[in-house]
Structure 1
Amino acid sequence: MPRFLRVLAPAVLLAATLAALIIGLMIGGAAAPRTLADPGAVVRIGLPIGRTLVNVAMAGLIGSVVMSVWAFASDRPETRVAMDLAAGSAAVLTVASAATLIFTYTDVSGLPFSGDASFGAGFAQFVTEIELGQLWLFELLLAAITTVLAFAIRGRRLTLLVLVAALTTTLPLAQQGHAAGASGHGQAVNSLLVHLIGAAVWLGGLLTLIFIARTVDRARLSLLVSRYSSLALLAFIGVAASGVVSAWLRIGSLDALFGTGYGLLVIIKTVALIALGAFGAFQRMRLIPRIADAERGARAFAWFVIAELVVMGIASGTAGALGRTATPVVLEPARDGGGKISPAEWLTGDPLPAPLTPLSYITEWKFDLAWGLVCAFGAALYLAGVIRLARRGDKWPVGRTIAWLLGLGFLFYTTNGAPNAYEQYMFSVHMIAHMLLTMLIPLVLVLGAPMTLALRAVEKRTDGSWGGREWIQWAVHTPYSKVITHPAVAAVVFAGSLWIFYFTPIARWAASEHLGHQWMIIHFLISGYLFSLSMIGIDPVPYRFPYPLRIVTLFATMASHAFFGVTLMTGDGLMLADWYGAMGRTWGPSPLEDQSIGGGIAWGIGELPTLALALIVAVQWSRSDDREQKRKDRAADRLGDTELEEYNAMLAAQAKRDERGVSRARR
């Protein structure tokens, strides 16, 4: 790729982004002076520019690290260039976050920037007491930490640490996208998080290809573009789906879509997104094969990328303008609305749902885009692996496929259905969700043997890079894996999590904070999956207990669950009284009765999956004995009964020794 194109590409991106941003601010009205507390033109324009630079720098950071981990070989210059890009992007993110923090304070306070004591005192209060200031301070600190890591780390495995740090920089931005305590806060935060990560991988990965193009030949570039294209497809799906959800939460009606400046910006961004989808389809179907064929193909790819970056810049700039444009649906916490609200709305931001009936478990839904995409991608990737094996002529048990899809179906229902709609308001429904997440869903997913499928279906890489197969093999054999998958550790975490979670402030954090709720879901899933994997898993782990000890472990965990359930059923004090006891719910059982029902669920219904585990262990034990006996039978058929022959030979030798002893005694 010519050198001037490598310089032109980021310049074109920034120019298109800034141009779209300025035009979008004028369309949405955010560039016009305010009638009250106008911060001035510098802040009106500087704040969205700073926020847009944050988004672009974050894309460069996340995209380059993802490509380093997934597509590039660590012993080639491509990885060094990508990590240099990551470090530079992280540094820009840090500076842009600091500038945006200052602009945000001047915008909120209405005070011009100055160095006097009153400005400093107000700024300190903003970053320590006001949620918006705290989030931008967290963003600044996370960006600074990531910058240090990106400059210091170059090893393949440690690059995962940089990736984790880079992904955490999206959390404060996702929290800002929707007012805490406003209706639909949880769905909006998860949707924006998917949007940010998807856009970062999409844009940042393309930028990375531009920068590393000079370090590889055409054949290598074609391969790397193909790998990027697979990531870009997943990112496109996530960005498109999250964009629809985010836009609908803020627009609310078709009239607002076509009759407001915000709606017009949404239409512009949608058109850009559709164009980018067409770019991606053309790139995957027509352009990638031509890159390696001739120099003309590589040049065509270069100009194609320039055009794609222009459209990406338009989308990024429009997104920045949307962030400063008033939404048709006012996003403010219910408690700040000025009207009379219910206690449930005060606590959760959402109104109390309709009374819970048996039919409600089918009819009531509260969709969560992030978990919906997790289930959809999990099913698609699993089926893709099964299809690849079938095309190769290998067989994969149908039962495992059914188990995996069934587990994902349960996960989708738990995170999008009635359990998600009612668990904030009723402890018993929360306990149903807990039992599904930590016991039933992991059990069924483990029977799907996803790691075994991936190891068989994913091709082994020979170019020095690590794909899914290589990362799984490494993860299975790490010292950390040996610890957390050890049956004793998995059992302690599985059983102990109940007590630690519900009898510490963690439960209140998970109930009231969106991040805490997501942590709860992930923790319960992982702890249950590791325990089921150590008991009945087909996937490889460093060590498993012998079958008798597995049965003992299962019954010990059953006893712990039973004791926990009885404790809740017989307790006369209400857990999380300032949450479940303060909802103002007038239907259904009282909060204390509901807690007792939850204890019964933990004791009774929660033990059913454990019994299923015990039955599966017993069946596996029996089959193991049968296989061992068949192995011995086959060996005997091949070689004769060696053990019996050796025993008979030993008896014959003993008899001869006895005869010699008798004859000597007679002489």
Structure 2
Amino acid sequence: MNNSRNTVATATPGETATGNRRLWPLLTLPALGVGVLVLIAASFFAGTARASELGDAGALVRWALPAAKALHHSSMAITIASLVFAAAILPRSTRPKRPAPGEHNTDGGQTHPAFARTMNLAAAAGSLWTVSAAAVLIFTFWDLVGQPMSTDPSYTAAMLDYVLNISVGKAWAWMIVIAAITSSLAFGVRSPGWVGATAVFSLAGILPMSLIGHAAGGDDHWGAVNSIMLHLVGVCLWFGGIVVLAALAPLLATKAPGRFPGARPILAGTVLHRFSALATIAIVLVAGSGVVNASIRITGWDQWMTPYGWLVIAKAVATLGLGALGLAHRRRVIPALEAGKLSATRAAWLVVGAEAVVMAAAMGLATVLARTAPPTPDTAPELPTPARLLTGYELPPPLTNASYVEVWRWDWLWIAIVAFLAIAYLWAMVTVRRRGDKWSILLTISWMVGLGCLFYFTSGALAVYGKILFSVHMVDHMALTMVAPLFLVIGSPVTLALKALGSRTDGTRGPREWILVLVHSKFSALVTNPLFAAANFAGSIVIFYETDIFGLRCATTWATS
């Protein structure tokens, strides 16, 4: 590789085609071995490898269940990350071109090898995701039964009841459906729009896991569910992204067929920068949600000395180590690669190999942690109050004027959304101003006021009392649909984003390109039409509250969401 940033790297001595083909197993096998060893060691340390005194399904289930879960979590993360890479990081063709007026095809040349390999990886990992989800469903059933696996016909009816009526069984059944649909789409779709839609749909697999995860039955049920959801999003993008980089590593030192503007070695320069930005968001999600989960499950200093506490500490150390590696790669490895001071293969070892080993250890710890009894039980009281049965929480104090500022219940999903939107807006404003363009401070204030309203309406007293008082619920509903959006729209976030984000010339769709696709889509034209918006606003309220839909919502778990 020469010293120019915009040239395509050629193979250096020692980086032959045969060597590149061998790079993929060399990068993944050490991580796989470390992950298995950590899984086994952590299982013995936490005691999950020992037979249960209340009912034991046998050694096969005790070891097969965590192995199947590790395989499931890994394949789901790889599938999601592969689709995200294909939708927003990698070029789709070797010779992209700008469309002529009235033309929609922006591809020329051949399918880019990196794109083709990533979509194949998504399809293969999606198939494994489906099979492993089925295996987890079966093994969790026998783990719940507490008896060795049997072919007795009586268990067939019991398993059907498990899938149809037990929350864990229903969650894993939905997981199989989501995984099967995602893998089928990954096999068939190749257009940018469909790839992007498939990537968004694949994230639906996170929902069943968050609903049945550890802490979901604790005192702060929805806080735990939302934090687990954010944690899983970060893990999937981060861990899965590392595996995708490893899969593309054999293309590092080969010349990309068909030059296009800004062409660079696959994974080097541009692609590494894009993944680095994605990984930064992921590590913030993983670390922040991990702190929330730990605070729910560990409520005393002495509980840190339990097996659960030590596993949490070990996982936190691994996460911090991964963050330090990512920062070092961003500041040293990527600039050295772009400057020609580092070979492509060496960069692959540093960026992919090192992080893959630590990430595999973290995944092994997480798998055992999910099966380890926490020091603070997440079981509901033996005689729960009606309020807890209906909403998942005890009744708050009587509503007074002071309650509107004193009573809070943190909704971590909305807190994360608000924090992200605030940081992104400020970054965009600073970027635009540094370039010499103007941006009104009044628009910024309006945006921040809107986010402040959104934060209060989802975590403040209106959200707390809205679960038990219909009048407060309607005030909160109106505020969410009429007050917060007003200030947010005045802030002109789309205009600011288009000003701050740069255009891509390599045929990929980044944030700016996807914003333009959504803004100019027929769906956007429909929902932003004043007549449709008015009919939707008024009609949805009438349909929801004047039909059986409202009663159905109150009778299901989603009533407390």
- Please give the TM-score of this superposition, normalised by the length of structure 2: 0.88
Distance 2:249 2:48 in 1: 39
Aligned amino acid, residue 72 of structure 2? V
Aligned amino acid, residue 439 of structure 1? M
Distance 1:423 1:398 in 2: 34
Is the 8 Å Cα contact of residues 181 and 347 (structure 1) preserved in structure 2?
no
From 386, 389, 395, the equivalent of 1:346 is: 389
Any idea what SS the aligned residue of 2:192 has? coil
Q: Which residue of 2 aligns with 1:257?
A: 304
* Residues 12, 507 of structure 1: alpha-carbon distance in 2 compared, 3 angstrom cutoff: farther
Q: Which residue of 2 aligns with 1:474?
A: 517
Structure index of larger Rg: 1
Q: Which residue of 2 aligns with 1:161?
A: 197
Q: Which residue of 2 aligns with 1:375?
A: 418
**Alignment of 1:243 onto 2:286:** no
**Alignment of 1:284 onto 2:327:** no
Distance 2:434 2:291 in 1: 36
Q: Which residue of 1 aligns with 2:47?
A: 29
Residue by residue, what CA displacement relative to the aligned partner does 1:440-463 show, whole Å, maximum 9, x if unpaired?
001110001111111111101111
**Alignment of 1:42 onto 2:88:** no
Q: Which residue of 2 aligns with 1:393?
A: 436
Aligned amino acid, residue 370 of structure 2? G
From 113, 124, 135, the equivalent of 1:88 is: 124
Distance 1:397 1:161 in 2: 34
Q: Which residue of 2 aligns with 1:233?
A: 280
Aligned amino acid, residue 349 of structure 2? W
Which of structures 1 and 2 has the larger relative contact order (alpha carbons within 8 angstroms, sep 6+)? 2
Q: Which residue of 2 aligns with 1:10?
A: 28
* Residues 311, 512 of structure 1: alpha-carbon distance in 2 compared, 3 angstrom cutoff: farther
Q: Which one has the bigger helix percentage?
A: 1
Over the aligned positions, Cα root-mean-square deviation in angstroms equals 1.7
**Alignment of 1:303 onto 2:349:** yes
From 528, 533, 536, the equivalent of 1:493 is: 536
Aligned amino acid, residue 234 of structure 1? I
**TM-fit CA distance, 1:227:** 0.3
Aligned amino acid, residue 344 of structure 2? A
Q: Which residue of 2 aligns with 1:214?
A: 250
Any idea what SS the aligned residue of 1:142 has? helix
Residue by residue, what CA displacement relative to the aligned partner does 1:185-233 show, whole Å, maximum 9, x if unpaired?
1111111111111100011112112222333555452110000000100
Is the 8 Å Cα contact of residues 48 and 372 (structure 2) preserved in structure 1?
yes
From 399, 405, 417, the equivalent of 1:356 is: 399
Is the 8 Å Cα contact of residues 135 and 172 (structure 1) preserved in structure 2?
yes
Any idea what SS the aligned residue of 2:51 has? coil
Distance 1:165 1:104 in 2: 25
**Alignment of 1:461 onto 2:515:** no
From 240, 265, 281, the equivalent of 1:204 is: 240
Distance 1:487 1:51 in 2: 48
Residue by residue, what CA displacement relative to the aligned partner does 1:449-492 show, whole Å, maximum 9, x if unpaired?
11111111110111111112111111122222222221111111
Distance 1:78 1:8 in 2: 19
Aligned amino acid, residue 25 of structure 1? S
Residue by residue, what CA displacement relative to the aligned partner does 1:107-139 show, whole Å, maximum 9, x if unpaired?
111233233312222211211121111111111
Distance 2:479 2:90 in 1: 39
**TM-fit CA distance, 1:180:** 6.1
Is the 8 Å Cα contact of residues 424 and 511 (structure 1) preserved in structure 2?
no
Is the 8 Å Cα contact of residues 80 and 236 (structure 2) preserved in structure 1?
yes
**TM-fit CA distance, 1:509:** 5.0
**TM-fit CA distance, 1:4:** 2.4
Is the 8 Å Cα contact of residues 60 and 207 (structure 1) preserved in structure 2?
yes
Q: Which residue of 2 aligns with 1:266?
A: 312
Aligned amino acid, residue 490 of structure 1? A
Q: Which residue of 2 aligns with 1:445?
A: 488
**TM-fit CA distance, 1:74:** 1.5
* Residues 104, 166 of structure 1: alpha-carbon distance in 2 compared, 3 angstrom cutoff: same
Segment of structure 1 superposing worse, 91-100 or 69-78: 69-78
Aligned amino acid, residue 455 of structure 1? L
From 123, 142, 156, the equivalent of 1:106 is: 142
**TM-fit CA distance, 1:342:** 2.3
Aligned amino acid, residue 359 of structure 2? M
Distance 2:458 2:42 in 1: 36
Q: Which residue of 1 aligns with 2:70?
A: 52
Aligned amino acid, residue 137 of structure 2? L
**Alignment of 1:116 onto 2:159:** no
Aligned amino acid, residue 230 of structure 2? V
Gaps of 5+ in 1: 519-667
Distance 2:212 2:409 in 1: 21
Residue by residue, what CA displacement relative to the aligned partner does 1:519-559 show, whole Å, maximum 9, x if unpaired?
xxxxxxxxxxxxxxxxxxxxxxxxxxxxxxxxxxxxxxxxx
Residue by residue, what CA displacement relative to the aligned partner does 1:559-608 show, whole Å, maximum 9, x if unpaired?
xxxxxxxxxxxxxxxxxxxxxxxxxxxxxxxxxxxxxxxxxxxxxxxxxx
Residue by residue, what CA displacement relative to the aligned partner does 1:366-397 show, whole Å, maximum 9, x if unpaired?
01211111001101111111111111000011
**TM-fit CA distance, 1:179:** 6.7
Residue by residue, what CA displacement relative to the aligned partner does 1:222-271 show, whole Å, maximum 9, x if unpaired?
1100000001001100110111111121122221012x100010000010
Residue by residue, what CA displacement relative to the aligned partner does 1:54-108 show, whole Å, maximum 9, x if unpaired?
1111110111111111111111222111111111111111111111111111111
Residue by residue, what CA displacement relative to the aligned partner does 1:29-64 show, whole Å, maximum 9, x if unpaired?
111111121111111111111111111111101111
Aligned amino acid, residue 308 of structure 1? E
Residue by residue, what CA displacement relative to the aligned partner does 1:16-37 show, whole Å, maximum 9, x if unpaired?
2222111111111111111121
Distance 1:6 1:146 in 2: 25
Any idea what SS the aligned residue of 1:12 has? helix
Segment of structure 1 superposing worse, 208-217 or 141-150: 208-217
Aligned amino acid, residue 23 of structure 1? A
Distance 1:104 1:308 in 2: 31
Q: Which residue of 2 aligns with 1:129?
A: 165
Segment of structure 1 superposing worse, 501-510 or 393-402: 501-510
**TM-fit CA distance, 1:517:** 5.5
Q: Which residue of 2 aligns with 1:507?
A: 550
Distance 2:437 2:505 in 1: 22
Is the 8 Å Cα contact of residues 450 and 488 (structure 2) preserved in structure 1?
yes
**TM-fit CA distance, 1:163:** 1.1
From 69, 82, 85, the equivalent of 1:64 is: 82
* Residues 193, 514 of structure 1: alpha-carbon distance in 2 compared, 3 angstrom cutoff: farther
Distance 1:16 1:161 in 2: 35
**TM-fit CA distance, 1:142:** 1.1
* Residues 514, 459 of structure 1: alpha-carbon distance in 2 compared, 3 angstrom cutoff: farther
Is the 8 Å Cα contact of residues 216 and 224 (structure 2) preserved in structure 1?
no
From 414, 425, 433, the equivalent of 2:468 is: 425
**TM-fit CA distance, 1:300:** 3.0
**TM-fit CA distance, 1:508:** 4.1
Residue by residue, what CA displacement relative to the aligned partner does 1:303-348 show, whole Å, maximum 9, x if unpaired?
222111111011110000001101111112x3xx32x432212222
Structure 1 vs Structure 2: percent identity of aligned residues? 41
Q: Which residue of 1 aligns with 2:445?
A: 402
Distance 1:190 1:507 in 2: 23
* Residues 179, 296 of structure 1: alpha-carbon distance in 2 compared, 3 angstrom cutoff: closer
Is the 8 Å Cα contact of residues 56 and 147 (structure 2) preserved in structure 1?
no
Q: Which residue of 2 aligns with 1:626?
A: none
Aligned amino acid, residue 278 of structure 1? A
Q: Which residue of 1 aligns with 2:11?
A: none
Q: Which residue of 2 aligns with 1:175?
A: 211
Is the 8 Å Cα contact of residues 262 and 322 (structure 1) preserved in structure 2?
yes
From 371, 376, 381, the equivalent of 1:324 is: 371
Any idea what SS the aligned residue of 1:247 has? helix
Distance 2:414 2:370 in 1: 24
Any idea what SS the aligned residue of 2:342 has? helix
Correspondence 1:595-610 to 2 at 5 A = none
